[in-house]
Structure 1
Amino acid sequence: MSNNNLKEQVLNIISEHRMGVLATVENNKPHLRYMTFYNDGLTLYTPTKMDTEKVEEIRKNPASSILLGFEDKGQSDAYVEISGKTTINESLELKIKFWDESFTQWFDGPEDPNYVFLQIQPEIVRILNVNGELPQELIL
């Protein structure tokens, strides 16, 4: 499969699946949790509170991994595995762009200083379970 076709498949999966697993590093071990993801191209964003352990973990070690796409419809569901570098993004423009009214249970609005995004810049992207094929890596 060409790199362009592979990238298109990856973009389709990450654009259509908002719920996924975020893994950060805590005490040299993986720490996983479900998160909601948004994307701009291959760059992923997930909203969080500034005063969470996720933010502290990212400050200590920016390495993270994400799983997106598996829907439990069967063993052949395609999904992506993304490893990358994570930063904290406090951009008001981004906070407005991805604001959802459901966030009001955690934040006072887009201008709430505790409302931030983890921004994941992919370094390795793998797509798995595509028509029974072996995992494929997108060349970035």
Structure 2
Amino acid sequence: MKELELKEKVIEIISNHKTGILASVEDNKPHCRYMTFYNEELTLYSPTKKDTEKIAEIEKNPYVSVLLGYEDKGQRDGYVELLGKASINENQSLKDRLWEESFKKWFDGPHDPNYVFLEIQPQTVRLLNLEGEPPQELSLK
């Protein structure tokens, strides 16, 4: 698969699969949880509370892994494994733009100071299990 085609397929998968797994590091061990993800190209954003343990984990070690896709029986589902560096993004325009009414379960509104995003800048992106093809890595030069 050509590089541009691979990037387009990765973006298609991460754009169409909002629920995925975020793995961070806690006491030198993996700590996984389901999260909601939004993307701009390959950069991922995940809403979270500022006072959660994942924020503390990322402040100690910002390297994370994200899995998105793989919803069928696993036979031919392509999925994306993204390894990257996470940071806390409190940009109000991002918070306003990505705000959803369903967030009211956790936040008072888009101006809630506890409402932040994890921003994940990819360092390695792999497309796996696509129609039985071998894993393919996207060059991020």
Q: Do they superpose with TM above 0.5? A: yes
In structure 2, the residue matched to 1:98 is: 98
Residue 36 of structure 2: aligned partner: 36
Residue type matched to 1:134 in 2? Answer: P
Please state whether the residue corresponding to 1:56 is helix, strand or coil.
helix
State the secondary structure of the residue aligned to 1:67: strand
Task: Give the superposition deviation at 1:35.
Answer: 0.2
Partner in structure 2 of residue 122 of structure 1: 122
SS in 2 for 1:23: strand
Alignment-mate amino acid for residue 6 of structure 1 = L
CA drift of 1:130 comes to 1.1
TM (norm. structure 2) is: 0.98
2:62 is the alignment partner of 1:49: no
Structure 1 position 4 matched with structure 2 position 24: no
The Cα offsets for residues 56-78 of structure 1, whole Å up to 9 and x where unpaired, read as 00000000000001103332110
Q: Secondary structure of 1:113's match?
A: coil
2-11 or 69-78, which deviates more:
69-78
- % of aligned pairs identical? 65
C-alpha separation in 2, matches of 1:8 and 1:51: 35
In 1, the alpha carbon distance for the partners of 2:75 and 2:48 equals 31
What is the alpha-carbon root mean square deviation over aligned residues? Answer: 0.6
Q: Mean Cα displacement is larger for which, 110-119 or 68-77?
A: 68-77
Amino acid at match of 1:97: R
Partners of 1:92 and 1:84 lie apart in 2 by: 23
The aligned amino acid for 1:122 is: P
Distance 1:138 1:67 in 2: 15
TM-score normalised per structure 1 = 0.98
Question: Any runs of at least 4 consecutive aligned residues in structure 1 with deviations exceeding 3 A, and if so which?
Answer: none
Q: Which runs of 5+ in 1 are unaligned?
A: none
SS of structure 2 residue aligned to 1:111:
coil
In structure 2, the gaps of 5 or more residues are none
Q: Distance in 1 between matches of 2:3 and 2:41?
A: 15
Q: What is the number of residues matched between the two proteins?
A: 140
